[in-house]
Amino acid sequence: DGGITQSPKYLFRKEGQNVTLSCEQNLNHDAMYWYRQDPGQGLRLIYYSQIVNDFQKGDIAEGYSVSREKKESFPLTVTSAQKNPTAFYLCASSVNTGELFFGEGSRLTVL
């Protein structure tokens, strides 16, 4: 079945460590997105990419990095520069405009 797969579902990180969250889609979508969600809050855009080898910063890009080397993949690295990384991370894709298709999310906890 087509969809978006995020892994891992749960991740624990020690302070000072970088971690990478995986996002893979087989929907043949051009655009992909990373959002962060804090408890009881809405989604805030971290990075988005509309085409392979190109991506733009969202509203809260500081402390995060991404790459888009393949159409299917848009990994997010949470670096040690991100001061408060504990959150629920959601990846999405779309056919450039319109409906977003979401993965099931990755919950990152800093110990």
Partner 1 sequence: SQQGEEDPQALSIQEGENATMNCSYKTSINNLQWYRQNSGRGLVHLILIRSNEREKHSGRLRVTLDTSKKSSSLLITASRAADTASYFCATERNTGGFKTIFGAGTRLFVKA
Is the CB of residue 62 less than 8 Å from the CB of residue 45?
no
- Report the residue number, 63 or 105, with the smaller CB distance to partner 1: 105
Q: Least Å distance between CB 103 and partner 1?
A: 5
- Report the residue number, 14 or 97, with the smaller CB distance to partner 1: 97
- Report the residue number, 33 or 110, with the smaller CB distance to partner 1: 33
Q: Max alpha carbon distance in the chain (Å)? A: 38
Q: Least Å distance between CB 65 and partner 1?
A: 18
Cα 103 to Cα 26, 37, 52, 95: the distances in Å are 12, 13, 19, 15
- Report the residue number, 69 or 104, with the smaller CB distance to partner 1: 104
92 CB-contact burial (10 Å; exposed 0-12 / middle 13-18 / buried 19+):
buried
User: Residue numbers of the site for partner 1 (CB under 8 A)?
Assistant: 4, 31, 33, 35, 40-45, 48, 50, 56, 58-59, 88, 90, 92, 94, 96-105, 107
